[in-house]
Structure 1
């Protein structure tokens, strides 16, 4: 096969894991000496991406079947696949965010399967909503048909791979996302609880406010990309209504501010249910922030290895989360012991680990 690679995704405009993994894929491919192009529907927001992630690989951009962007997803995907099909014989095609646009490729990377939540969340009110359940089942069948035409399907976590197998019968290869190791300074810690998340409704950030209400002597920081301005405004109004002077929100922070906040935080609180593999949690681990996550998904299964108190804690209620955070903040000896183990655990998900794993898969296709 030619040493030309086309990496494609619907868009690169938010500051999430999908964007970061796509950029790291491109960097890895270029380090292999390959000619790489990036294709998205609209030009990426390069300055925003560089400010937040701290770097950008040099890459040529191509428009990805622009006439298909605003069509229903199934039609959009079919037209885009037809558009890319001619390149498939000469180029290595990598679908960097295949969960959003499951177009058959040589390599397809699945970050998360949020659409499947009505089928996998136990005792969820969503399960009783037939429209959502039917939609999730139809999406599962469509995903199975599309991905079975891909040569290699990669998943960001064991949790995501297990759901993919349940829904489609496809066995994915686990390739954890690349996670930057931050500076760990034990003496520079403060009583800060940081939540790293896009401001988006499915991230369940209202839970931060409920927990902060019970721990008013602790500072809570919420930092991340701005995806939903209306939701952000709702949170601001709720903070004011509850007089939560200990809660601060910072949307779209520059990378240096983000890293400084993480390095000073003792605890990293994650509120999303059934998440796949948040890169930010590993970055927080590497900086010695102890994780307090919901007892579900990749944070519990992959990162904490389903063990309480080893690298962090998993909660199922507000009271549990409050108890864990209070224990860590008030007991420095306990915090230090877990933070040391957490710091070492982070290196299992380093950028070098990703590069080695991803490169070996790419090189197999080029033989």
Structure 2
């Protein structure tokens, strides 16, 4: 939006997110916040570094942002998402000069808290993960993140590690200092992240779990145990931190040996050279292990690599499968896991991160593992034991029901009222 266009509206709430053109967890969260503001009586203005793609958000999550005003810089450096976060600070400063909002919601540490507060704006900072923690000394953050597998897998290799290190040096000049001094309300996505934030700043944030996309399946359409395939589904973008390579190498052969008719669906978003390179790596591993695979769900194979599927086809895969496996370590939150649970899928996840603390509820609502042998054992048991499957299926449905968009809006409104 040009500056002249900005002058033409008065915004009640700014919702600032650096990139609205993909179907990730942070995009779902920001879109849900914009929707929540509108439902409780505030007109949200979307703030972005790059142009906002309403169609991607609506198609992926069922949230229509097209009626909301927005402003964005004419910048798009998709391959450098970390750097785009830093640029969000500049865009926020530009917008508050020409608008008079009551609220600023931002899911990034890159904003000038003092400047925003001086304008009488109430600041809500949502922390998916305090990325500054990776660049602090152990003494400062009081929790050991050295060698964190999530970062190690995501920014592996010389170029990746150099990029992450460079981001750390540059970002320190543009981020706010203490979020509790800069924002009136600090929210996080899970108890896992709340613990890390508390260890750094000695204050506890409020936990607001992201919702399940409102365009999810009707529970009445779910299949029971006997109507499902002996299939395992992994849901998430094609990226190294999802550890699909680890699953193919360590899980697939042994599960197939135990359950002869089992199959694996790897379903995810894939875009750009980085994703394409990772898919090629997976194909190379499958060929080396002589495991049949296909990119077409209609063909007969042991493993399916399913990229950028329409929502209806993703829903069908989730509906027909028996187990949802997640291999990422220390993931902060997982919209794919929450979504899979709403299909009545028992979840098998690593005992780490926000997924274990807030989705599996440390074993109450899902099954956990620490190594490949434990994961295999739990998968095979869920496929073969109907009683165990029914128990965890019902627990998944119960947990996912508490993550519906209506409850998210209600909780968000409660926090707003207290500000």
Alignment TM-score, normalising by the size of structure 1: 0.85
Structure 1 residues without counterparts, runs of 5 or longer? none
- Aligned residue pairs total 359
Could you tell me how far 1:42 is from its partner in structure 2?
1.5
Question: For the structure 1 residues 141 and 340, does the alpha-carbon distance in structure 2 shift closer, same or farther, using more than 3 Å as the test?
Answer: farther
Give the greater-gyration-radius structure (CA): 2
Correspondent of 1:185 among 220, 223, 233: 223
SS in 2 for 1:273: coil
| 1:79 corresponds to 2:90 | yes
* Greater displacement, 45-54 / 273-282: 45-54
Superposition misfits of 4+ residues, deviation over 6 angstroms: 67-71, 129-142
State the Cα distance separating 1:360 from its structure 2 match: 2.1
Indicate the residue corresponding to 1:90 in structure 2.
101
3-state SS of the aligned residue for 2:362? coil
Please say if 1:321 is aligned against 2:375: yes
Q: 1:294, CA displacement in angstroms?
A: 0.6
CA contact (8 A) 1:268 1:284 kept: yes
Query: In structure 2, the residue corresponding to 1:154 is in which secondary structure?
Result: strand
Which residue does the alignment assign to 1:222? 266
Structure 2 unaligned spans of 5+: 1-9, 117-122, 139-143, 153-157, 293-301
Deviation at 1:77, TM superposition (A): 5.1
In structure 2, the residue matched to 1:332 is 386
Mapped partners of 2:344, 2:92: distance in 1:
44
Pairwise mapping of residues 1-367 of structure 1 onto structure 2 (< 5 A)? 4-66=12-74, 76=87, 78-86=89-97, 89-95=100-106, 97-98=107-108, 101=110, 104=113, 106-113=123-130, 116=133, 120-121=144-145, 145=177, 147=179, 148-180=181-213, 182=217, 183=219, 184-186=222-224, 187-210=226-249, 211-216=251-256, 217=260, 218-227=262-271, 228-245=275-292, 246-307=302-363, 310-365=364-419
Secondary structure of the structure 2 residue equivalent to 1:288: coil
Q: CA deviation at 1:327?
A: 1.0
Which whole-Å CA distance do the structure 2 matches of 1:134 and 1:3 have between them?
A: 36
Map Cα deviations across residues 118-169 of structure 1 (whole Å, 9 max, x no partner). Answer: 8634776889x99979986996897660623111111011111111121233
Aligned 8 A contact 2:18 2:85 in 1: no
